[in-house]
Chain A
């Protein structure tokens, strides 16, 4: 695509968060939106993620975002005109101690109060939802049937194709090298292909967002955290229909409609780096967890494993909104949940930037909360 020297809005980061934001901005009336991406489409965390979507959260904000994201995902194929691979097999959360189960139930009460129909289930019910499950050591389970999983690649490409039709420019292999600030306002972006003037700059660069923010003199407390994931050969359906997940057990496992089982866990110590390195230790440890929970998987083969970066914040909640630098916005810090929250976060940020009333008030996700000590601690994360 031919480079241009100016755009109305420049989005730094062409993963799902940047692409979805570009789509909604254009649909809601911003005319000239450009996305710059240092790699290729889906080359960063979007293409490496587990792609779960859930409303079973432990903070009100995340519950509201999660259920709103589900609402969008359920009609996304019709809206974008392309499949996004949505599969709603529910999330089955597994607790291994009385204390953990109490915490899940506390979250469930919060969710139920917000209209999310999560419920606690017994081991025998859990086995109806997930027939191959052997979790006799579990203390309890909660389940929400509308939770699920989509295809992160298809979702990103579907948003991108729709955005391009609306006039969005997408520049791949174009790295952000600076943000121009004049009189306290962001007015442009320096890139590996040259400078581009902009009225608004949005930082959607995931695990790299603190580096991009620093270009404008804004300090974000984010960091990149490495997580690992693997996928098996496709097998007959029914091995793990829901997303099976445990915070203390440190795993998530789900079978795609296509038949492959995808599962992940965090490496010991949660390495804080930018290395997308996968390790032998991971596939052996993950295989042990998988075989214990779902003994039928012993004969199933792993075909691929890889790593990706969570874009972490100190409270595990996202950072969305304008900064001390005028016209410089953030949509980052999703702490491993950027894929599921991208549609709703993109839509709400676009509403704010087009003078429309936002679906959800996101002002508490302002990054200044860390300086004020108003953290929104999310308990339901691995």
Chain B
């Protein structure tokens, strides 16, 4: 294994779900060309941070690998409640 390939396997892009750069590149090459598809298959952006940590990095990676400007890469859906909330607090509403 080359150093670059080894590094890809060690670089964690989504810290909540521990998804590596290598896995993201593999699924882009298999045809995922949006953040949402990568999210569905790899769980990137599904953890407590909801993509705050990884989405920009992944969009940049999509842009680079697909050869399209970043503003043309479909960003992920932002879902409520945006910040994690305890169910006990919601239930007392």
A binding-site residues for B, Cβ under 8 Å:
1, 40-43, 47, 153-154, 156-157, 161, 170, 231-234, 258, 278, 280, 283-284, 287-288, 290-291, 297-306
Contacts and interface: CB of A to CB of B under 8 A. Distances in A.
9 contacts: A43-B36, A47-B40, A153-B41, A154-B41, A278-B80, A287-B90, A287-B91, A299-B88, A304-B50
Contacts of A157: 40-41
Contacts of B90: 283-284, 287, 302
A301 B41 contact: no
B84 interface: yes
A303 B50 contact: yes
Contacts, number: 83
Nearest to B42: A153
B86 A300 contact: yes
B30 interface: yes
B72 interface: no
Contacts of B87: 232, 287, 290-291, 297-298, 300-302
A41 B88 CA distance: 35
A141 B87 CA distance: 25
A305 B79 contact: yes
Nearest to A303: B84
B81 A305 contact: yes
Contacts of B53: none
B63 interface: no
B38 to A, nearest CB: 10
Contacts of A278: 79-80
A170 B74 CA distance: 19
Contact of A40 (B34, B81, B88): B34
A343 to B, nearest CB: 19
A243 B37 CA distance: 26
Ranked 9 nearest A-B pairs via Cβ = A298-B88, A301-B84, A287-B90, A287-B87, A153-B40, A287-B91, A288-B91, A284-B93, A42-B40
A233 B48 CA distance: 6
Contact of A304 (B30, B79, B86): B79
A278 B81 CA distance: 10
Contacts of A306: 79
Nearest to A278: B80
Most B CB contacts (10 A, CB to CB) among A231, A288, A291, A301 go to A301
A153 B41 CA distance: 6
Contacts of A304: 46, 50, 79-81
Nearest to A153: B40
Contact of A305 (B32, B34, B80): B80
Nearest to A47: B40
Contact of B37 (A1, A41, A161, A303): A41
A161 B86 contact: no
A42 B46 CA distance: 15
B69 interface: no
A287 B80 contact: no
B57 to A, nearest CB: 20
A330 to B, nearest CB: 26
Nearest to B34: A40
Given A40-B34, A304-B46, 14 more contacts: A40-B37, A41-B37, A41-B40, A42-B37, A47-B40, A154-B41, A157-B40, A291-B91, A297-B87, A297-B88, A299-B86, A302-B81, A302-B90, A306-B79
